[in-house]
Amino acid sequence: MSWLNQSPHLAGRAAQYATTEDFRRLFLEQIDNLYQLSLLLTADQSKAEQCFVDGLQEALDSNNIFRDWAGSWAKVVIIKNAIRVIQPRQWELSSGLTLSKRNEIADDESSALGPLLALGNFERFVFVMTVLETYSDHDCAVLLDCSLAEVRNGRTRALEQIGHSVSAHSFAMPATMSVGREN
């Protein structure tokens, strides 16, 4: 009989924490979402895979995460590993992905992701974290080790670049189509 079974108080307390099996199950059930998060942050398949695997290992090694927080913690470890690998900095002049690199990642849905993947590293991280993952500006600044102003400016630049990219690729309505006119 284990010592946890001998003490109901300790057994109940231990049951509050996520186990290795909980994290294995979570990463298996959320593999698409967690890998997509990693890919959006890194904009590189091999780095995304590395961040995913490293995130899984870090989660498996965690023994003090509440079971109810395991899903949030899994995202945090993915984000922290992507930050470690990419090291996005506000002051670097990064142009994001080249068209050929973007095409390597591309699939049928990629045209919508192209403008996001083309962002500079810092802007892409800020956009993904604050807009897509809805992290607060404060939490984003803490994770990226930057100021709140840098996060806000990075998000503004990202939104402007995505907006310009989308408007530049918009399709004009053919002249043969009439809008709002009845014949």
Tell how far CA 46 is from the center of its chain.
Answer: 15
In a domain, 175, yes or no: no
What does the pLDDT read at residue 99? 44
164 shares a domain with 99:
yes
Task: For residue range 32-91, list pLDDT tens digits in order.
Answer: 999 999 999 999 999 999 999 999 999 888 878 999 999 999 999 999 999 999 999 977
Give the chain's mean pLDDT: 81
Q: Among all chains, which residue has been given the structure tokens 């045209």?
A: 111
Name beta bridge partners: 66: 17
Q: Are 118 and 165 found together in one domain?
A: yes
Q: Which of 41, 45, 43, 44 is nearest to 78 (CA)?
A: 41
- Total domains in the chain come to 2
* Range of the structural domain that residue 130 is part of: 92-170
* Residue 59, in any domain of the structure: yes
Q: Are residues 38 and 99 in the same domain?
A: no
CA distance 132 to 49: 20
Q: How many angstroms separate the CA atoms of 118 and 44, rounded? A: 11
